[in-house]
Amino acid sequence: SNRYDVLVIGGGAAGCAVTASLLKRDASLRIGVVEPSEQHYYQPGWTMVGAGVFTRSQTERPMAQCIPEPAQWIRAAVTGFLPEQNTVVLEDGRQLAYRTLIVCPGLKLHWDAIKGLRETLGKNGVTSNYVLELAPYTWQLVQNLRKGRAIFTQPPMPIKCAGAPQKALYMSADWWLKEGVLAAVETEFCTAGNVLFGVADFVPPLMQYIDKYQTQLNFQHNLVEVDGEAGKAWFVVTDAEGNQQRIEKSFDFLHAVPPQRAPRFVRESVLADKDGWLEVHHDTLCHPRFGNIFALGDVCSAPNAKTAAAVRKQAPVVAENILAVLAKREVRAVYDGYGACPLVVERGKAVLAEFGYGGKLLPTFPLDPLVPRRLAWQLKARWMPSIYFDMLLKGREWLAKPSVLDHAPHRPTAVQACDF
Ligand code: FAD
C-alpha cells in the first residue's frame, strides 16, 4: 500500500541518516524514502577531488547500498505537497500518504543567476567543485596553470558548506606554492559577503593563509556574468554606502560557486518560509503549522551552517521527535545548531571549525579549535568518508545524543500524526 508511518523526501545525507536513526529506535516502522537518483554522493569529498587527493569514485555509491533496510525506496521525485491530506504528489501523478513526513531534498544550485556561466563550465578554465563531474577538471586546471590570474568566487549566503569556496583557493594555492609557480599566479578571492568566514573566531587563522598565499581578498564582489572564451568575469561591487558598480576582471582560471536556493517544489509550496526554505522551528525542526512535518539538511530554514556535519546532530533530533508525534507525545528533542567545516588550508593541515547557533564554538576534541592541525587534516582526508558512509548513514550516533527538554518548547499545532 502507499501508506507510511514515516515518509522521507530525499535519500541524501539527511534522508539516509534520519531513516537509519529511526530504524535504530524502532525497526518495525514502515518507512518510505522517495529518491530519484541511482547514485548517492558524499559531497564533502568533492573539495578533495578538486585537489587531487580523492578520486571521484571515493565520493559516490549506489543509492541501493545507502538507503537503510528495511525502508522502502520509491524511485521517483516529489513534485508537490498536500499537507491537509497528509499526502505528497509524485512526478507521475501518484500520491503517497503518510502519518509523519520528513522533508530533506537538499538544495539547488542556481547557475542561471550568473549570465554565461552554465555555457562555459568545464571549458575555458572555468570550473566548480560544486559539481562532481567538474571537480577532476579543477585539478587538471590547477596542475596546468603556471602563470596568470586565478579567481575564486563565493555567492551570497546561504550556501552549502560556506567554507568550500575558500577551500578550493587554499588547496590550489598550496599546490602552486609547492610547485614554485605561485609568484607568477595572482590569486583573488571574490566574495559577495563582507567577511572571510561567518564565525569571527576562525578569521585570524584563515587570514594567515590568505597572507601566505598573497591572495587579494575582495569583499562585496558578487559574480554576475562570465565570458569564458574572452576570459572575462563581471562583478557587482557594493561599497560601504550601498552604492553599486559593475566591474570587469580578466582571468586565466575561474572557480565559480553559484547562488543556492530550495528546490522549486519546496520554494513554491505552502510549507516554505519567505525565502523559500522549508520552514521549521530552529530547535525541534518541526514545521510551525503542520505538527507531523519535519525538515533537516540543506533545505530546512534553520540558520545553521548547511553541512553534512549538521545532519549528524539533526537526524537524531528529528528521529526522537517523529517517534513522539507517532505516539502522540510532546515534541521535546532540540537541536543546538551544530555545524562543522574542516577548512583544509594546505596539504596536511586543516582548521576544524565546529560551531552552533550564534557562532558558539562547539569543539568535539579537547584541543584549541583555532589552530590549523594535522589531526584535522587526517580526519578530513582519511577517516571522514568512512565516518560518513559507515556511521552517519548507518545510524551509529557518535557523540550525537540529542538533548531532550522537560517541557515542549512550542505549543502543539492543530495537525498531528494522522491515523489511517
Ligand atoms: P543532499 O545530500 O544533497 O541530498 C538531497 C537528496 O534529495 C539527493 O539525493 C536528491 O537526489 C534528492 N532529491 C532532490 N529533489 C528531490 C525530489 N523532488 N524528490 C525526492 N528526492 C529529491 N558538508 C560538511 O559537513 N563538511 C564539508 O566539508 C562539506 N563540504 C562540501 C563541499 C562541497 C563542494 C559541497 C557541494 C558540499 C559540501 N558539504 C560539506 C555539504 C554537504 O554535502 C551537504 O550539507 C549535505 O549533503 C546535505 O544533505 P541533504 O541530505 O540535505 O542534501
Which DSSP string corresponds to 261-320? E--HHHHTSTTB-TTSSB---TTT-B-SSBTTEEE-GGGB---S-BSHHHHHHHHHHHHH
Dump pLDDT digits (tens) for 70-81. Answer: 999 999 999 999
Tell which one of 38, 42, 43 to mutate to probe ligand 1, the residue whose CB is within 8 A of the most ligand atoms.
Answer: 43
Average pLDDT over residues 374-396: 96
The per-residue pLDDT for 219 is 98
Distance set, CA 312 to CA 9, 68, 339 (Å)? 17, 16, 9
How many CB atoms within 10 Å of residue 36? 15
Around ligand 1, the residues with Cβ closer than 6 Å are 9-15, 34-37, 43-44, 46-47, 77-78, 104-106, 129-130, 160-161, 164, 263, 265, 297-299, 306-309, 311, 340-342
- Who wins on pLDDT, 238 or 414? 238
70 prior amide bond cis, ω within 30: yes
- Give the Å distance between the CA of 262 and the centre of ligand 1: 12
Atom of ligand 1 nearest to the CA of 17: 51
Strand pairing class (95-103; 3-9): parallel
**Which position has the higher pLDDT, 364 or 102?**
102
Per-residue pLDDT, 414:
57
Class of domain 110-259: alpha beta
Task: Label the pairing between strands 333-334 and 403-404.
Answer: antiparallel
Give pLDDT, residue 35. Answer: 98
Question: Looking at the annotation, which residues are catalytic?
Answer: 161, 341
Least trusted range by pLDDT, from 101-105, 170-174, 414-418:
414-418
pTM for the structure as a whole: 0.97
Structural class in CATH, domain 3-107+262-404 = alpha beta
Grid cell locating 272? 516554505
Of all protein residues, whose CA lies closest to atom 9 belonging to ligand 1? Answer: 12
Q: How far is the CA of 306 from the centre of ligand 1 (A)?
A: 9
- Residue ranges per domain, the chain? 3-107+262-404, 110-259
- What is the average pLDDT across 29-50? 98
Select from 130, 172, 271, 307 the residue to mutate for testing ligand 1; criterion: most ligand atoms less than 8 Å from CB.
Answer: 307
For 215, which DSSP code? P
Q: C-alpha cell of 310?
A: 549538521
Per-residue pLDDT, 419: 62
pLDDT, position 359: 95
Q: What is the ipTM of this complex?
A: 0.99
Nearest CA to ligand 1 atom 11: 37
Ligand 1 pocket mutation, candidates 161, 338, 352, criterion most atoms within 8 A of CB: 161
User: For the residues 383-395, what does the mean pLDDT come to?
Assistant: 96
Mark 152-190 as b/e (b = at least 16 C-beta within 10 Å).
bbbbeebbbbbbbbbbbbbbbbbbbbeeeebeebbbbbb
Question: H-type helices in 76-180, by residue range?
Answer: 117-120, 135-144, 164-178
* Centroid of ligand 1 to alpha carbon of 16 (angstroms): 11
Q: Which strand (E) or helix (H) includes residue 41?
A: strand 39-41
pLDDT bin (cut points 50, 70, 90) of residue 1 is low
> Is there a shared CATH topology between the 3-107+262-404 domain and the 110-259 domain?
yes
Per-residue pLDDT tens for 112-133? 999 999 999 999 999 999 999 9
pLDDT at 256: 98
Question: Which tens digit of pLDDT belongs to each residue from 131-146?
Answer: 999 999 999 999 999 9
The pLDDT value recorded for residue 420 is 58
